[in-house]
């Protein structure tokens, strides 16, 4: 009665993309970095770059959001091979969730062991200031509550288990390392640790929504990241995540401030060099995992 709905890519479709990339670059990355809105400059930490436009990569979705360049950058940092997404995909762009997370399985097929996810987010925790960097220790998956989870559909055991655990999604050793790095760089004053909540977007939250999310235990709110993390953990990658608090979520009916994308991008520009230093030092400290599933 209903037309068959496509629920994801086939293993062969993922392989086509991964094999194309392997044939077109000599880099064999162990670490992937996903740049949040306005944070694409993070790719500049990579040397010996080989850059692909998303439009040139078979099967790759296209970036449609200002602040997401749509380039896949391979390169090295202190001898470590990395790949960096300058531009991620969001549900609100109209992509089904399995397209949003497509690059993660490609990274796995390239041999990536550790994924670093970054995002711009609104601060709900009243101790947070604009410009704070929040290490993500856990998440609230709002689209997931309604059944929009990237693992919906037939499970491919070649990637992972039907029912993956998410209670240890954000690697505690990498968070410890990040705290040490931040302390050494003198960044502790603006380093926080908290819970990230994903919503579908693209509208920013109402005041009532912000106060509900805060009561539910969220420290920051955004429109990305969680779907990628679920897929990365499903296929056994270690995950490190951080949110740049680009704006304070509006919680007061008398407030004049209004969330807007330009402010989000501007805060990214202001914190760019510190974020680059922090991620560089973090990557320096990441030990290879010998492709062990964790």
Ligand X SMILES: O=P(O)(O)O[C@@H]1C[C@H](O)[C@@H](CO)O1
Interaction mask 248-267, ligand HPA, x per CB under 6 A: -x---------x----x---
User: Active site includes 92?
Assistant: yes
Nearest approach in angstroms of CB 97 to ligand X is 15
CB of 114 within 8 A of CB of 289?
yes
Q: Does 117 bind ligand HPA (CB under 6 A)?
A: no
User: Active site includes 247?
Assistant: yes
User: Of 30, 65, 247, 268, which one interacts with ligand HPA (CB under 6 A)?
Assistant: 247
Say which entry of ligand HPA, ligand X, none residue 249 contacts (CB below 5 to 8 A, set by partner kind). ligand HPA
Q: Does 133 bind ligand HPA (CB under 6 A)?
A: no
Say which entry of ligand HPA, ligand X, none residue 224 contacts (CB below 5 to 8 A, set by partner kind). ligand X
CB of 73 within 8 A of CB of 49?
yes
Cα distances from 108 to residues 15, 65, 201, 234, in angstroms, run 11, 25, 28, 11
Q: Does 39 bind ligand HPA (CB under 6 A)?
A: no
Q: Does 151 bind ligand HPA (CB under 6 A)?
A: no
Catalytic residue (one of 9, 43, 54, 68): 68
CB of 194 within 8 A of CB of 137?
yes
- Looking up tokens 């062969």, which residue turns up? 12
Cα distances from 135 to residues 178, 193, 195, 220, 229, in angstroms, run 8, 5, 9, 11, 14
Residues in the chain: 294
- Helix residue ranges, H only, the chain: 11-24, 97-100, 102-110, 142-145, 172-185, 207-216, 226-234, 261-285
User: Of 246, 268, 279, 283, which one interacts with ligand HPA (CB under 6 A)?
Assistant: 246
Distance CA 164, CA 167 (A): 9
User: Active site includes 256?
Assistant: no
Say which entry of ligand HPA, ligand X, none residue 221 contacts (CB below 5 to 8 A, set by partner kind). ligand HPA
Catalytic residue (one of 59, 148, 155, 261): 261
CB of 227 within 8 A of CB of 97?
yes
Task: Consult the annotation and say whether 205 binds a ligand.
Answer: yes
User: Of 136, 151, 221, 278, which one interacts with ligand HPA (CB under 6 A)?
Assistant: 221
Residue numbers in the known binding site for phosphate are: 37, 68, 88-90, 120, 224
Catalytic residues: 37, 68, 90, 92-93, 120, 223-224, 247, 261
């Amino acid at each position: 009665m209903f037309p068959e709905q496509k629920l994801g890519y086939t293993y062969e479709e993922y392989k086509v993309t991964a094999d194309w990339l392997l044939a077109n670059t000599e880099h064999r990355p162990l670490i992937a970095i996903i740049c949040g809105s306005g944070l694409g400059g993070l790719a500049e930490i990579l040397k010996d770059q080989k850059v692909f436009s998303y439009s040139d990569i078979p099967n790759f979705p296209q970036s449609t959001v200002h602040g997401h360049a749509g380039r896949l950058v391979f390169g090295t940092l202190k001898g470590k091979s990395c790949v960096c997404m300058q531009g991620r995909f969001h549900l609100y762009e109209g992509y089904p969730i399995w397209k949003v997370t497509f690059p993660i399985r490609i990274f796995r097929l390239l041999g990536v062991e550790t994924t670093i996810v970054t995002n711009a987010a609104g601060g709900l925790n009243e101790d947070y200031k604009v410009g704070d960097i929040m290490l993500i220790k856990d998440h609230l998956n709002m689209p997931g509550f309604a059944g929009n989870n990237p693992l919906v559909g037939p499970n491919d055991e070649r990637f992972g288990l039907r029912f993956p655990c998410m209670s240890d999604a954000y690697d505690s050793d990498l968070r410890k390392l990040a705290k040490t790095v931040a302390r050494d760089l003198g960044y502790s004053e603006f380093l926080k640790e908290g819970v990230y909540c994903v919503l579908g977007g693209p509208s920013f939250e109402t005041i009532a929504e912000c106060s509900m999310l805060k009561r539910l235990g969220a420290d920051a709110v955004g429109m990305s990241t969680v779907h990628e993390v679920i897929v990365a953990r499903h296929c056994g990658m270690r995950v490190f995540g951080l949110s740049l608090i680009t704006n304070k979520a509006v919680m007061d009916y008398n407030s004049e401030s209004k969330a807007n994308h330009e402010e989000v991008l501007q805060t990214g520009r202001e914190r760019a060099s510190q974020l680059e230093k922090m991620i560089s030092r973090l990557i320096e400290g990441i030990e290879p995992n010998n492709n062990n599933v964790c």
